[in-house]
Amino acid sequence: MTSSAAGAGRVLGSLRSAEGKGVVRIAARFDTGIDDLWSAITSPGRLSCWHGQVAGELLTGGEFRLNLEADGWEGTGRVEACEPPRRLLVTSRESDESWRRGQGAEPFDQTIEATLTADGDETDLVIEVRGLPLDKIAFYGAGWQIHAENLAAYLAGRERDDSDARWEELVPAYQALAGEVR
C-alpha cells in the first residue's frame, strides 16, 4: 500500500448489508503495477506468501481448496469469473471440520470479488466480500483489512505485522462501523 494508506489506525474498509447479509468492502492502493498485483492474488505460490495455501484451478469454473493457517480456516471454493488482470470473483465455504475447531459462524457461502484498476505505476484494489453473518461483520472487516495489509507487506518485501496485535487495534473501529449497519 502506499504510505498514505498504511497508517496504524487507518480503517480501509466499509461495512453494509445487502439482502440480510453482511458486506465488507476493502479499498487500498498498492505500489505495484496491475500485472504484479494480479499475480500476487491469483498465483498459488504467491498467495501462500501472504494469504494461505491454495490448491486447485484459479480459472473460471475452477475449484480450489484454501488453508489459512493464521486463521485456522480451511475450506473450498469455486472461481465464478476470472478476467485477468482486472477482476476475480470466487465463492468459498469453510469446511465443517474447520468450523468445529474454530470459534466462528457456522459454515456459509461467501462471495469474494477483487477488482483491480491501474493508475500509473500503482494499482487500486477493491475487495468486496458478500454473504457474511451480520452479527460478526466487524470481525470479518478487521480480518479482511489484515489480509490487505499482509499483501502490502509481501509486495514491499517486509515482514507482516503482528496479526493478533493488529486485530486488537482494528476490531473496535470495525465494531463502531458495524453499529451503523442495518
Q: Residue 72: pLDDT band by 50, 70, 90 thresholds?
A: confident
- The yes-or-no verdict on residue 153 having pLDDT over 70 is yes
Task: Give the C-alpha separation, 54 to 126, whole Å.
Answer: 21
Task: Give the C-alpha separation, 79 to 90, whole Å.
Answer: 4
Mean pLDDT over 144-160 rounds to 96
Cβ–Cβ < 8 Å for 153, 34: no
pTM: 0.92
Residue 76: what residue type?
A: T
Mean pLDDT over 109-121 rounds to 97
Give the count of beta carbons closer than 10 Å to the beta carbon of residue 180. Answer: 9
Place of cell 476493502: 26
Mean pLDDT over 116-139 rounds to 97
Burial class from Cβ neighbours inside 10 Å (0-12, 13-18, 19+) for residue 2 reads exposed
Give the count of beta carbons closer than 10 Å to the beta carbon of residue 19. Answer: 7
DSSP tally for the chain: helices H, then strands E: 5, 8
Mean pLDDT over 123-141 rounds to 97
Please choose, from the candidates 122, 123, 129, the residue with its C-alpha nearest in 3D space to the C-alpha of residue 147: 129
List Cα–Cα distances, 141 to 24, 44, 51, 128, in angstroms: 6, 24, 15, 10
Angle at 166 between CA 139 and CA 53, to 5 degrees: 75
CATH class of 8-178: alpha beta
- The yes-or-no verdict on residue 4 having pLDDT over 60 is no
For residue 83, the model assigns a pLDDT of: 98
